[in-house]
Structure 1
Amino acid sequence: MKLEGEAKLLRIFVGESDRHGGRPLYEAIVLEAKRQGLAGATVFKGFMGFGAHSRIHTAKVLQLSEDLPVMVEIVDEEERIRDFLPVLEGMMREGLVTLERVEVIRYRS
């Protein structure tokens, strides 16, 4: 697959303990993105954060959290990302989804 020039970056912010279909939500999102043939996805685990409930989630030893923030990034052409959004909506109960324009400099398989 070749991807160059203008594309979209889909960022999905969820909790580490969020689940879909019996597996972690972030894993379900990546597997579905792969199944749909999107260009690529990466999962990042956060050390600290808060979201819509304003509850702090942290990896500090004295404040153990079992629901650390997780971010999934997916990059592809706008049409393919927009086609994925309804699927994503059906997978998520809560969280944050953002979409931004990016310029792909290099992507080769």
Structure 2
Amino acid sequence: MTTITDPALLKVYTDEDASCGDERVADMIVQKARARGLAGATVLRGLTGYGQGSRIHAHHLFGISDNPPLVIEIVDAEERLRAFMAELADLRGIGLVTLERVEVLSQPGHRPTREQDRP
């Protein structure tokens, strides 16, 4: 695995019930990210949250859910993430999307960088 140049984190907010045809939006995004060769993607399920409409989405006791929030996190180079997001622009069911620069401290197959090894 190569080191990512200009690493960034793309976060896509949606909810569990969001779908495009027969496929869940979260699954579709992860599959597209993998097909594009992006470094990694993870779907996180929230316990509770709300968005633009101020409707509370929650996960309740005994596994009963009221369409809980999901966040899809994808890490790769900023340029690649911007291009990927442009491909998803017309996908229904996507809420807020954020992009932030990150520092990768550890990667599978690489030793973590020690402070004294940095220039």
User: Which of 1 and 2 has greater Rg?
Assistant: 2
Cα 1:57–1:83 shift into 2, 3 Å: same
Mind listing any 5+ residue stretches in structure 1 that lack a counterpart?
A: none
TM-score normalised per structure 2: 0.81
How much does 1:61 deviate?
3.8
Deviation at 1:19? 0.5
Helix, strand or coil for the counterpart of 1:108?
coil
**What is the identity percentage for the equivalent residue pairs of Structure 1 and Structure 2?**
41
Deviation at 1:89, TM superposition (A): 1.3
Name the amino acid aligned to 1:56. Answer: I
What are structure 2's unaligned runs of at least 5 residues? 110-119
* Partner secondary structure for residue 2 of structure 1: coil
Output aligned runs, 1:23-102, within 5 Å: 23-61=23-61, 64-102=64-102
Counterpart AA for 1:10:
L
| Partner of residue 12, structure 1 | 12
Instruction: Give the strand-richer structure, 1 or 2.
Output: 1
CA pair 94-36 structure 1, distance change in 2 beyond 3 A: closer
Alignment RMSD:
1.9
Paired residues, number: 108
Code of the aligned partner of 1:82:
R
Structure with more relative contact order (C-alpha pairs < 8 Å, separation 6 or more): 1
Superposition TM-score, scaled by structure 1 size: 0.88
Question: Closer, same or farther in 2 for the Cα pair 1:36/1:4, shift >3 Å?
Answer: closer
- Is this contact kept in 2: 1:4–1:106, CA < 8 A? no
4+ residue segments displaced more than 6 Å: none
